[in-house]
Structure 1
Amino acid sequence: MPPRLNIHIGLAKTGTTTIQAAMHGNRDRLAEHGVTYGFERMNHSVRLLVAFQSDPMGYPVVVNAGIDAADLPRLGESARQRLASEIARCKTPHYLISGEAASSFSLEDVKRIRALTDDLGVGDIRILCYVRDPISFARSIVQQRLKSGARLGELKYRRPGPAFRQRIEPWIETFGRDSLKIVAFETACRHRGGLPGSMLEAILGTEVTLPEIPEQKRQNASLCLEAALLLDALNARHPYLVDGGIGPNRSRGDANVLLRGIRGTPFHLGPDFDREVAADAADDVAWLREVSGQADLFGGYEAMTHRTYPEPAWSTETLEDVAATLFSQRAELTQPKG
């Protein structure tokens, strides 16, 4: 009898890397509990993209993997054969794959997965989808883009939305609503076993705790408000991106090194930003609550739009001076210790 196929599709900013690291690093422990973690790598996005997506070269993760467009037919066929072989040989009741890129698949892309599972006789399929409330999602995306060189002023007016319906509906149309398991990121973070424990409970229906492994340590921790403003000042003085590449005065991921561990005011973009994000996402959230059967999903996060926020502890002048000092010390601060 084929295993249940569990497909974890993200969504973005919901701890996908933490979950993948835990599953990949505890393969033997997972197998003891009846779960096989697929493929040989931690993140399965590239495999899923080349196997099922209509234009995989449009994804930076594929380009960064050094894949040539001419090799896509061969690589796609190889990935499909590998997936089919692993499912056919799976000795546990559950087979799990995880790739956040799958949340961007079109209906046609998802149907290609369905065609493969039909050929394999796999009828028991669970789509695992973690979701984050639109306001905290938007703040997290803003920080990510800030670390990639964007300016806070422009980001306030380019409000990112989670696009729940766009990302999830193709999976519902293909596999049915009953196949979908929606988990609130905020709730999963409070699980006794953390995000990985939450994932395993969603799969197994019982609590399993995995030992923490080094890869689970956060590599993209949230910045406080002062650190974010500091990075904004640094981006103004020394742009992160210049002519399509990393600027001559910057280095890849330098924000995580320079600003790591700075304590201060919790990051926010003000009540107007929160209200606009909530208004933009209102229909999307209503749809998600309806299809998930969770009327209280996100626990009334809309109340966040009525909050008042403290001003940053540092003045603009202080932030600019600290940014200049940090930049002058960047070589020493970002140099690996040996």
Structure 2
Amino acid sequence: MARTLYLHIGMPKTGSTSIQESFDAHRAELSAAGINYLDFGPSHSKVFLALFSPKKMKLRARVTKHLGADTAMTDYSLDDLEQAFKTQLTLPNAGITIASGEMLFRFSKTQCRDLHRFLSPHFDTIRVVAYLREPLSLANSRAQQNVKGARGTLGEMADLAAIHAGRSPLVPHYREHVETWASVFGQDAMILREFDRKQFVGGDLLVDFCHVVGVPDTLHAALAGIWTKTARNAETILILDSYLRRSREGHRPAFAPLRDRLEDVPGSHFSLPEPVLRAVMQAVEADVAWLRAETGHPFFAGADPAKVAGAAAWSDETRAALAGILGSPVAPIDRADPVAAQAAIDRLTDQLAAVVGPSRRAGGKYDRGRLGPALERIANLVRFALRRLKRAVRR
């Protein structure tokens, strides 16, 4: 029996979680059809990273649980994980094997080579599947994600110099990552799909993926239609950004409660300003031209910053929902005056933060920063000791 592996590598922000949750939930039906979706939970990213990162990861609970270990144990041997991985790859009666991990998209050439050496003895054919998201939509999605995760403010991400230099997280590097995978697995192995509902088979991401990886038509309806993540609206992103912009890492006790309380507030579609989106398009122009030349597909032909860009509406419905949290009316935002509008948003943010209060979890990650105070002190002592040691060695 010929054996084929479909290695789904993302890219991030292209519905990978939806694919993973659906295939994980229907593993039994897929298995009965001769399709093996690796039994390492919905996403396989952590397993791949544990085995193929240059710095071998300490095995976390989400990895050890697949080895039958106590989830409190994090020092399980990588050899055990590797053996479990090989067992999953070589299940009998599986003509098709599917692995999915969006973190693989950014693998280096060395990681790809190590992965190829590991996988190639077990399969007759390996295909690499990547969905590529249009740059303007991706920039808006990443901006929302980074604000929600307190990883950066809109102003930091929208720095035009950083965008033009390709250093902003808003700028995708299509060629760098696709070319890395193609150089190891071969150009013929690459299956590149545009992440666009209008271009999906059946207008559905899950049906489209089923079509790509050879899932029988009879299973398409069962697997289709799952969408696990929804975007925040413009108003809540601006409020969270206001809080981040005027606080500093390690001193954001109200961030998590504020984010949670705003979860269900209705609002308008979020977009970065048009000049920022135009800068993103200019930054990816060469990459997009390369994609089109390599594939013959007119990737992202309809991308237009003028059609995408928009401002928060601050509608009556949105302000009523915010008033419900505050217990007092929320005045209209004067969008005609950007300075006055921002001042009003900052005042509203302070009022909301005061109402929701600090996180009940002492030492939460937004309150403590990347390291808690105790760990910071330990790190400083270690750095001091290393400096003393270096000086002693020089003497």
Q: TM-score range by the shorter chain?
A: 0.7 to 0.9
Shift of the alpha carbon at 1:45? 0.9
Q: CA deviation at 1:103?
A: 1.2
Q: Post-superposition shift, 1:268?
A: 1.4
- 1:163 maps to 2:173: yes
- The one-letter code of the counterpart of 2:353 is F
Q: Which residue of 2 aligns with 1:141?
A: 142
Counterpart position of 2:385: none
TM-score (norm 1): 0.82
Q: What residue number does 2:271 align with?
A: 268
Could you tell me which residue of structure 1 aligns to residue 393 of structure 2? none
Go from structure 1 to structure 2 and tell me whether the alpha carbon gap of 1:107 and 1:218 turns closer, same or farther (over 3 Å shift): same
In the alignment, which residue of structure 2 is the partner of 1:284?
287
Give the secondary structure class of the aligned counterpart of 2:238: helix
Where do 5+ consecutive residues of structure 2 fail to align?
65-73, 163-167, 315-332, 335-340, 362-395
Q: Which of 83, 89, 92 lines up with 2:91 in the alignment?
A: 89
Distance 1:54 1:308, change over 3 A: closer
Structure 2 partner of 1:98: 100
**What is the CA-CA distance between 1:9 and the residue it aligns to?**
0.4
* Paired residues for 1:138-287 under 5 Å: 138-149=139-150, 150-157=152-159, 158=162, 159=168, 160-187=170-197, 191-192=201-202, 194-204=204-214, 207=217, 208-211=220-223, 216=226, 218-219=228-229, 221-239=230-248, 241-242=249-250, 247-251=252-256, 255=259, 257-287=260-290
How far off is 1:85 after superposition?
Answer: 1.9
Q: Conserved in 1, the CA contact under 8 Å of 2:270 and 2:310?
A: no
1:261 CA drift (Å): 3.4
2:99 aligns to what SS in structure 1?
A: strand
CA separation of 1:31/1:223 partners in 2, compared to 1, >3 Å: closer, same or farther?
same
Question: Hey, what's the Cα distance between the residues in 2 that align with 1:283 and 1:145?
Answer: 25
Bigger-Rg structure (1/2): 2
Deviation of 1:137 after TM superposition, in Å, equals 0.7
Q: Are 1:324 and 2:347 matched, yes or no?
A: no
Q: What is the CA–CA distance in structure 1 between the aligned matches of 2:8 and 2:37, rounded to whole Å?
A: 11
Return the TM-score normalized by structure 2. Answer: 0.71
Q: What is the alpha-carbon distance in structure 1 between the residues aligned to residue 80 and residue 130 of structure 2?
A: 26
Q: Which has the higher contact order (CA 8 A, sep 6+)?
A: 1
Q: What corresponds to 2:368 in structure 1?
A: none
Structure 1 132/62 Cα, relative in aligned 2: closer, same or farther at 3 Å? farther
C-alpha displacement of 1:104: 1.5
Q: Percent identity?
A: 23
Aligned to 1:55: 55
Q: 1:234 to 1:293 in 2, by over 3 A?
A: same
1:65–1:27 CA distance, 2 compared to 1 (3 A): closer
Following superposition, the deviation at residue 321 of structure 1 comes to 3.7
SS, match of residue 85 in structure 2 = helix
Q: 8 Å contact 2:207–2:223 — kept in the other structure? A: no
Unaligned 5+ residue runs, structure 1?
A: none
Q: Using the alignment, how far apart are the partners of 1:206 and 1:286 within structure 2?
A: 35
Matching residue's letter, 1:248: P
Give the Å deviation of 1:263.
3.1
- C-alpha distance 45-174 of structure 1, shift in aligned 2 (>3 A): same
RMSD: 3.2
Q: Is the 8 A contact 1:131 1:182 kept in 2?
A: yes
CA distance in 1, matches of 2:247, 2:126: 49
Matches of 2:215 and 2:26, distance apart in 1: 19
Distance 1:34 1:162 in 2: 36
Letter in 2 for 1:30: L
The 2-side partners of 1:334 and 1:226 are apart by 25
Distance 2:224 2:211 in 1: 17
CA 185–206 in structure 1, closer or farther in 2 if over 3 Å, else same: farther
**Could you report, residue by residue, the CA deviation over 1:199-245 in whole angstroms, capped at 9, with x for unpaired residues?**
111111764122579xx5534x2222222211122224555x317xx
CA contact (8 A) 1:223 1:262 kept: no
- 1:331 deviates by 5.3
User: Offset of 1:152 from its aligned partner?
Assistant: 1.7
Q: Please give the alpha-carbon distance, in whole angstroms, between the structure 1 residues aligned to 2:132 and 2:204.
A: 15
Shift of 1:312: 4.2
Provide the secondary structure at the position in 2 that maps to 1:145.
helix
Deviation at 1:192? 3.8
Give the AA of the match of 1:276.
A
Question: Partners in 2 of 1:188 and 1:71 — Cα distance?
Answer: 46
Which residue of structure 2 lines up, in the alignment, with residue 107 of structure 1? 109
**Counterpart contact for 1:225–1:266, Cα < 8 Å:** yes
Aligned length: 317
Following the alignment from structure 2 to structure 1, what is the Cα–Cα distance between the partners of residues 180 and 80? 25
Residue 179 of structure 1 deviates from its aligned partner by 1.0
Equivalent in the alignment of 1:304: 305
In structure 2, the residue matched to 1:117 is 119
